[in-house]
Structure 1
Amino acid sequence: MSAKKKFFAGAGAVAALLTSGAAEAAQPKPWEMNFQPAATDIMRQMTWFEHYTLWFIGPITLLVLALLAYCIIKFRESVNPTPSRTSHNTLIEVIWTVGPVIVLLFIAVPSFQLLTAQYTPTEDPTLTVKATANQWNWDYEYQVDDPLSYNSAILDDGDRAAAGKQDMAVYPRLLTVDHELVVPVNKLTRVLVTATDVIHAFAMPAFGVKTDAVPGRINEVWFKPEKEGLYYGQCSELCGKDHAFMPIAIRVVSDDQYKTWLTAAKADLDGANKALMAEVDGTNKVAAAGN
Structure 2
Amino acid sequence: MLRRLLCSAPAAALAMLLLGASVAWAGMGQPSPGEMGLQAAASPVAEEIHKFYDFVNIIIVAIAVFVLLLLIYVMYRFNERSNPTPSAVTHNTALEVAWTVVPILILVAIAIPSFRLLHLQYSYPKADLTLKATGYQWYWEHAYPELGISFESRMLDDASREELIGQNLPAPRNLAVDNEVIVPLNKTVNTLVTAAPDGVIHDWTIPSFGSKVDAVPGRITSTWFKPTVEGIFYGQCSELCGKDHAFMPIAVRVVKEEVFAAWTDAMKQANEVGKSASGEKDKEKRKQLLQQKKELLEKAKGIVRQAALEQAGVRQFAKTEGASQAK
> What's the TM-score, normalizing by structure 2?
0.72
Q: Shift of residue 27 of structure 1?
A: 4.1
- Supply the distance in 2 between the matched residues of 1:236 and 1:168 (Cα, whole angstroms): 29
Residue 284 of structure 1 aligns to a residue whose secondary structure is helix
- Structure 1 Cα separation of the partners of residues 299 and 245 of structure 2: 29
Bigger mean CA offset, 253-262 vs 270-279: 270-279
Deviation at 1:161, TM superposition (A): 5.4
Q: Say if 1:79 and 1:241 are closer, same or farther in 2 by CA, change over 3 A.
A: farther
SS of residue matched to 2:95:
helix
Q: Give runs of aligned pairs for residues 18-57 of structure 1, distance below 5 A.
A: 25=28, 27-57=30-60
Partner of 1:61: 64
Aligned 8 A contact 1:170 1:287 in 2: no
Q: Which amino acid aligns with 1:232?
A: Y
Distance 2:219 2:167 in 1: 38
- Percent identity at matched positions? 45
1:192 aligns to 2:192 (yes or no):
yes
Secondary structure of 1:154's partner? coil
Displacement of 1:87 in angstroms is 3.7
Give the structure with the larger helix fraction.
2
Q: Which residue of 1 aligns with 2:156?
A: 155
CA distance in 1 between counterparts of 2:187 and 2:29 reads 21
Question: Which has the higher Rg, Structure 1 or Structure 2?
Answer: 2
Q: Distance in 1 between matches of 2:104 and 2:82?
A: 35
Q: Following TM superposition, by how much is the alpha carbon of 1:67 offset from its aligned partner in structure 2, in angstroms?
A: 2.9
Matched with 1:144 is 146
Query: Which secondary structure state, in structure 2, belongs to the residue aligned with residue 249 of structure 1?
Result: strand
Number of aligned residue pairs: 262
Deviation at 1:166, TM superposition (A): 4.0
**Higher relative contact order (CA closer than 8 Å, sequence separation 6+):** 1
- Give the one of 280, 300, 305 matched to 1:278: 305
Counterpart mapping for 1:74-223 below 5 A: 86-122=89-125, 124-145=126-147, 147-160=148-161, 164-166=164-166, 170-196=170-196, 197-223=199-225
Deviation larger for 25-34 or 222-231:
25-34
**Cα 1:243–1:83 shift into 2, 3 Å:** farther
Deviation string, structure 1 residues 231-272 (Cα, Å, up to 9, x no partner): 101111122222111110001111121121112123147414
Identify the residue that residue 258 of structure 1 maps to in structure 2.
260
AA at the equivalent of 2:72: A
Per-residue CA distance 1:83-103 (angstroms, 9 max, x = gap): 666443212211111111111
Find the counterpart in structure 2 of residue 9 from structure 1.
Answer: none
Equivalent AA in structure 2 for residue 282 of structure 1 = L
Q: CA deviation at 1:68?
A: 3.1
Q: Is this contact kept in 1: 2:200–2:216, CA < 8 A? A: yes
What are the superposed Cα offsets for residues 160-213 of structure 1, whole Å, 9 maximum, x if unpaired? 356x45468722111100101111111111111111211111111111111111
Aligned twin of 1:246: 248
Describe the SS at the equivalent of 1:121: coil
Gaps of 5+ in 1: 1-23
Q: 2: CA distance between counterparts of 1:113 and 1:178?
A: 38
Alignment partner of 1:56: what SS? helix
Residue type at the aligned position of 1:229:
G
Q: Which residue identity lines up with residue 181 of structure 1 in the other structure?
A: V
Partner Cα separation in structure 1 for residue 80 and residue 140 of structure 2 = 62
- Which position in structure 1 is the counterpart of 2:283? none
Residue of 233, 236, 239 corresponding to 2:235: 233
Shift of the alpha carbon at 1:119? 1.0
**How far has the Cα of 1:76 moved from its partner?**
5.7
Structure 1 segments (4+ residues) deviating >6 Å:
77-83
Aligned with 2:119: secondary structure? helix
Q: Structure 1 counterpart of 2:113, which letter?
A: P
- Cα deviation code 1:32-78 (max 9, x no counterpart): 11222211111111111122222211110111222333445555678
Distance across 1 between alignment mates of 2:230 and 2:158? 25
**Residue 275 of structure 2 aligns with which residue?**
none
Taking structure 1 as the reference length, the TM-score comes to 0.81
Q: Which residue of 2 aligns with 1:4?
A: none
Distance in 2 of aligned mates of 1:27 and 1:287: 14
Structure 2: segments with no counterpart, 5+ residues: 1-26, 271-292, 317-327
